[in-house]
Amino acid sequence: MADIIKLLPDHVANQIAAGEVVQRPASVVKELLENAIDARSNTIKLIIKDGGKSLIQVVDDGIGMSTTDARLSFERHATSKIQKAEDLFNLHTKGFRGEALASIAAIAHVEMHTRTEGEEVGTQLRIEGSEVVSQEVCVTPKGTSLSVKNLFFNIPARRNFLKSNQVELRHITDEFHRVALAHPGITFHFYNNGSELFNLPKSNYRQRIVHIFGTRTNAKLVPVGEETHVVKIQGFIHKPEFAKRSRGEQFFFVNHRFIKSPYLHHAVVSAFEGLIKTDTYPGYFLYLEVDPSSIDINIHPTKTEVKFDDEHTLYAILRSTIKHSLGQFNIVPTLDFERNQNLDTPYAYKDQEAKQPQVTVDAQFNPFLETSGKSPSAAQGYTAARKTGQWESLYVGMDQPLGDDTGFSSVHLESDGITGSIFEDQLDVGHSVATTFQLRRKYIVTSIKSGMVVIDQNRAHQRVLYEKLLKNTTVKQSVSQQLLFPLTLSFTKSDRAILEEIRTDLIHIGFIFETLDKESLKITGVPYLIPENEVGTVLDQLISDYRHEIAGEGFSQADILSKTLSKSLAVKTGEVLDCSSQLALVNDLFACKESRVSPFNKPIYVTLTEQDIEKKFI
């Protein structure tokens, strides 16, 4: 057989490499910004058009390149940053692989202007799909300007795969934040479609964070600092009360490089244990400095993952440093072994005034009646009655796992799947002897003619709210409650941009607001379903869901909005519902168009027929 193996031509090899390095416009932004930083620039300008699809330009005032270097920089494996493999473990630059420019030039139209300090004239180079189109002498300021146009012009599949300009801009902004946060000593400007998005003067870490995330961030920050022979830690954490239900402002930098590390994230979260709710995340900006020889950055082409020599020690140091900061800044009561901690005021009550306890007596209460006598529909909001009343006391202790001897935990719900319409069965709830009860503060159990049904209260309420909200947005007939005192909420610029995008839907659903300035909104009305003290959290959740959901697209804005709100507002597992609320929820659920699955496609209830039960007794 004839030989069939051939070396790939350079431009093909470069295109293949580009597949790894350049996923979307934001990857180009990252590479170009990092090159500008490595060139020791003081000021860096980022210019974007159409989400980076038509133009990404980075202009720096760094060391520039000679004509020969300018030509060489586009060759694969051409780098000025390392010379031998050992250098990989003594890195002081962002780049080292020497493949970014070669990859970018393989899949776009690139134009470079560059000049070094010592030269009077510079070099202009144009390269399209790895082909040098022109090279000329030019007049240009010291430093380098690199523009990338028509990204993926020769790979239509990749180009079509790009998301909307807004989504691509969001990715670019995230990347810009990461680089700018890591280098507060450099001035950054960011323009999008001709208007300035960020103007970040040279500053320190704290000011840089505040410039990016808004003036109100300042009050949220608690400084963190520690220096050991393994690592130097600096930075800030958010005070626990600002923990969000969504991920977002969590940043680790190792030797001035943004990295992702679920392991170190865990260290931070565990330091916050007991201070924040379980489903919330603390914000942090942590700058670690370690000996370059103790880490390996070359484990991922985009260099966002790092392998540490001694992860466990790092984990322990990080955790205790953060605990220390939380304690030092009086965020948690200081440890005092003499004192009985049970007598401490819980954190949530710290600033509250003492009030005389009040005893209320339900004059209507009759222990011999099974329901409280209120009409079910009266309990619209399914208000959680946080007391152990009536029959509920019978189930005290049910929260502990039931021992096997009861045989209960081994009950297998045979009709676990979703059964057909429950209406054929007719709920028993209309009868005067209607009974519902709450099991483990999670399920509502009620009887139907053929047996019983066990309903997940959280999912059921999500479904009810979802259908209501969706109707409001589509019929555009929202019910909003005017706030007596308007709320002023502040957001980061990118969050504000998202709120702008969904503005019409927010209004349809019942929000009334006006724009105050670049950072804040004044909210004068909210949908009647949202309690006033939840508005901030609900909007945060919404922004984050929208940011993630849109990546999957295929959902309408109204749908995302309704899903998010239903998730935020639904009664949670663990909340006690009184009888009338349970009944109202059951009735509302079965009045829904689709009562079987939650808005997130999870089953809402299971039925257990009399036969199922009888089988258990054989």
Binding site for ligand ADP (CB under 6 A): 31, 35-36, 39, 60, 62-65, 73, 78-81, 95-102, 144
Instruction: Determine if 35 is a binding residue for Mg ion (CB under 5 A).
Output: yes
Contact 477, 528 (CB under 8 A): no
Which partner, ligand ADP, Mg ion, none, binds residue 384 by CB below 5 to 8 Å per kind?
A: none
Q: Where are the alpha helices (DSSP H) in 195-306?
A: 205-213, 262-271
CB atoms under 10 Å from CB of 574, counted, come to 12
CB of 257 to ligand ADP, least distance (A): 13
Q: Is 100 in the site for Mg ion (CB under 5 A)?
A: yes
The set of residues, in sequence order, having a beta carbon less than 8 Å from that of 318 and lying 6+ positions away, is 231, 233, 264, 267, 268, 271, 286, 288
CA angle (554 as vertex; 552, 560 as ends), nearest 5: 80
Residue of 407, 421, 408, 405 lying closest to 453 (CA atoms): 421
User: Of ligand ADP, Mg ion, none, which one does residue 98 interact with (CB within 5 to 8 Å by kind)?
Assistant: ligand ADP
Looking at the Cβ atoms of 295 and 589, the one nearer to ligand ADP is 295
- Three-class DSSP category at 133: strand
Number of residue whose CB is nearest ligand ADP: 95
Q: Where are the alpha helices (DSSP H) in 283-411?
A: 311-328
User: How many Å apart are CA 563 and CA 470, to the nearest integer?
Assistant: 9
Minimum separation from the CB atom of position 58 to ligand ADP (A) = 7
> Does 62 help bind Mg ion (rule: CB under 5 A)?
no
- Smallest separation (angstroms) from ligand ADP to the CB of 30: 10
Gap between the Cα atoms of 56 and 28, Å rounded: 8
Closer to ligand ADP by CB, 96 or 511: give it: 96
Which residue is at the shortest CB distance from Mg ion? 95
Q: Could you tell me the smallest distance in angstroms from the CB atom of residue 343 to Mg ion?
A: 59
Contact of residue 65 among Mg ion, ligand ADP, none (CB under 5-8 Å per partner type) = ligand ADP
* Min dist. Cβ of residue 77 to ligand ADP (A): 9
Name the binder of 145 from Mg ion, ligand ADP, none, CB < 5-8 A by kind.
Answer: none
Lateral strand order in the sheet of 520-527: 480-490, 520-527, 512-515
Distance in Å, CB of 35 to Mg ion, minimum: 4
Distance CA 448, CA 453 (A): 7
Choices 27-35, 185-193, 338-346, 365-373 (CB under 5 A): range interacting with Mg ion:
27-35
Nearer to Mg ion, 107 or 231 (CB): 107
Q: Would you say 82 or 576 has its CB closer to Mg ion?
A: 82
Nearer to ligand ADP (CB atom), residue 101 or residue 295: 101
Least distance (Å) between residue 152 CB and Mg ion:
19
Q: What's the alpha-carbon Rg for the chain, to the nearest Å? A: 30
Of 18 and 318, which CB lies nearer to ligand ADP in the complex structure? 18
Select from 91-99, 310-318, 433-441, 501-509 the region that touches Mg ion (CB under 5 A).
91-99
- Look up tokens 């090159």; give the residue: 35
Nearer of residues 118 and 156 to ligand ADP, judged by Cβ: 118
46 is in the binding site of which of Mg ion, ligand ADP, none (Cβ under 5 to 8 A by kind)?
none
Residue 603, SS3 per DSSP: strand
Closest separation between CB of residue 413 and ligand ADP, Å?
58
Provide the angle, in degrees to the nearest 10, between the axes of the packed helices 493-501 and 535-552.
80
End-to-end CA distance of the chain: 73
Q: Given the structure tokens 């409001």, which residue do they identify?
A: 472
Mask for 458-477, x = binds Mg ion (CB under 5 A): --------------------
Measured distance CA(537)–CA(516) in Å, rounded: 20
Question: By CB under 5 A, is residue 130 in contact with Mg ion?
Answer: no
Of residues 521-540, which lie at the interface with Mg ion (CB under 5 A)? Answer: none
Select 97 or 238, whichever has its Cβ closest to ligand ADP. 97
Q: Residue 379 and residue 353: Cα distance in Å, rounded?
A: 31
Give the span between the Cα atoms of 394 and 398, in whole angstroms.
9
Please list the residues that pair with 307 across neighbouring strands: 296
Binding-site ranges for Mg ion (CB under 5 A): 35, 95, 100
